[in-house]
Chain A
Amino acid sequence: MARALINIPAKAAKGQIIEIKTLVSHPMETGFRPDNQGKLIPRDIINRFECEIDGERIFAADLYPAMSANPFLTFTLLAERSGEVTFRWKDDRGEITEEKRKLVVE
């Protein structure tokens, strides 16, 4: 089960640029490593990250096997209006980790 840590200010001034930091728990198995029987462990990585505010996409990223375990992503947002920020990570097995945070812009 993936888990996530998100650092986003609860309040921001209109026009302010805020930094959002995310850390998600995931093994990011590359698909190139053999197990102790010599068989390749199937690839299982987070391949897509999306961030939306009230359904409007503000940031997205495609991830590849060179990413470390527990990928850390940070990006900025120009605060224009209040809303619910959704963070979504999708992995190779189709498992989706979703987290929501409220952002108040004054």
Chain B
Amino acid sequence: MIRTALIAFTTTVAVTAIAQIAPGERRSGAEFMSPSTQAMQKDDTSNPGMLAALEGETLWNAPAGNEGKSCASCHGPADKSMKGVAARYPAIHQSTSMPVDLQGRINLCRSDNQKASPLRFESRELLALTTYVALQSRGMPVSPPDDARLDPFRNQGETLWRQRFGQLNFSCAQCHDDNWGKRLGSAPIPQAHPNGYPIYRLEWQGMGSLQRRLRNCMAGVRAEPFGFGSDEFIALELYLMSRAAGMPMETPGVRP
């Protein structure tokens, strides 16, 4: 009986392996949350991610590095210059022709233009700045750039998405494409859209980036997580953004 079930399961997986979520069926992770957590995200006074955005605003205007320049010295007010920026990252960095995500772009700006040391991944400062920049795109559609140079990296990301990992031997797609809406233990399986990052996760009691969340999932299937800032994560982020194209940005998201 079990064997039959297993064979049936494997066949289903094989048949639906290339299946993607239809655009009309896409749902943000927020829709899988309880009404109270949704309310927490919607109200800017109760959403703890807004505290990070508030700190990010201070950092935006604070001079840093040997040039003594702040982000605002070049970019001006973020509500104009950063509008829609987070919705199109990761993007190609012109001087290296390699893709960078928003966190990486902020650190490149620090080292190239401010002559400041890069901020550590998952540090309070980097998450705060990223949240503040991404907040300026809230409500705007995710719009991955139409740039052919990104295609090989996006394809790498999709391969990783479908690649089985870890002792449990699961791919991302097996849960988030094929079985979203069902439950894993008591937790609903969402569709894994990246439109609310950085998020305030109640389990973490703090902010975290998309890469931290991806590492979390990898540890969950007992795989060795990729390193912060690794090429694999940038590729996955690229694929996830193209998969969520058109969905509204909701940074800072709150997640259970």
> 0/1 per residue, B35-65, Cβ < 8 Å to A?
0000000011111101100110000000000
Contact between B48 and A3 (Cβ–Cβ < 8 Å)?
no
Residues of A within 8 Å of B202, CB to CB, are 68
B205 and A5 within 8 A (CB): no
Interface pair B45/A70, CB less than 8 Å apart: no
- CB-defined contacts of A6 to chain B, threshold 8 Å: 45
Could you give, for residues 52-90 of chain A, a 1 whenever the CB lies within 8 Å of some chain B CB and a 0 otherwise? 000000000000000011101000000000000000000
Which residue in chain A gives the minimum CB-CB distance to B58?
A3
Q: Considering the complex, give the chain B residue whose CB is closest to the CB of A71.
A: B48
Which B residues, 217 to 250, have Cβ-Cβ distances below 8 Å to chain A? Answer: none
Instruction: Report chain A residues within 8 Å CB of B50.
Output: 5, 23
Q: State the CA gap A22–B48 with chains docked (Å).
A: 11
Residue of B nearest to A22 (CB): B45
CA distance A69 to B50 in the complex (A): 14
- Which one, A5, A27, A69, contacts B44 given CB within 8 A? A5
Task: Evaluate contact between B45 and A5: CB separation under 8 angstroms.
Answer: yes
Q: In the complex, which of the residues B43, B44, B48 contacts A70, with contact meaning CB atoms closer than 8 Å?
A: B48
Chain B residues with Cβ below 8 Å from A16 are: none
Contact, CB under 8 Å: B51 / A23: yes
- Chain A residues, CB < 8 A from B43: 21
Q: Most chain-A CB neighbours within 10 Å: which of B43, B44, B47, B51?
A: B51
Q: CB of B166 within 8 A of chain A?
A: no
Taking CB atoms and an 8 Å cut-off, the chain A residues in 22-48 that contact chain B are 22-23, 25, 27-28
Complex contacts, A23 vs chain B, CB 8 Å? 45-48, 50-51
Contact of A7 with B45 in the complex, beta carbons under 8 Å: yes
Residues of B within 8 A of A69 (CB): 48, 205-206
Q: Which residue of A lies closest to B51 (CB)?
A: A25
How far is A3 from B49 in the complex, measured between Cα atoms in Å? 12
Q: Which residue of B lies closest to A1 (CB)?
A: B55
Of the four ranges (under 10, 10 to 19, 20 to 34, 35 or more), the interface on chain A belongs to 10 to 19
Give the Cβ gap from A35 to chain B, nearest Cβ, in Å. Answer: 15
Cβ-defined contact, A3 with B206, below 8 A: no
Which positions 110-134 of chain B face chain A at CB distance < 8 Å?
none
Knowing A69-B205, A69-B206 touch, does A3 contact B45 (C-beta < 8 A)? no
Chain A residues within 8 Å of B47, by CB: 23
CA gap between A72 and B46 in the complex, in Å = 7
Contacts A21-B45, A23-B50, A70-B48; A3 near B205 (Cβ below 8 A): no
Q: Whole-angstrom distance between the alpha carbons of A22 and B43 in the complex?
A: 12
Find B51's partner among A3, A7, A68 (CB 8 Å cutoff).
A3
Cα separation A70 to B204 with both chains bound (whole Å): 12
Q: Which of B140-195 contact A (CB under 8 A)?
A: none
Chain B residues with CB below 8 A from A27, complex form? 205
Residues of B near A25 (CB, < 8 A) are: 48, 51, 54-55
Residues from chain A with a CB closer than 8 A to the CB of B45 are 5-7, 21-23, 72
On whether the beta carbons of B54 and A3 are closer than 8 Å, the reply is: yes
CA distance A3 to B205 in the complex (A): 16
Q: Is the CB of A3 within 8 A of B46?
A: no
Chain A residues at the B interface, C-beta cutoff of 8 Å:
3, 5-7, 21-23, 25, 27-28, 68-70, 72
**17 A-B residue pairings within 8 Å (CB atoms):** A3-B51, A3-B54, A5-B54, A7-B45, A21-B43, A21-B45, A22-B45, A23-B47, A23-B48, A23-B50, A23-B51, A25-B48, A27-B205, A69-B205, A70-B51, A70-B205, A72-B46
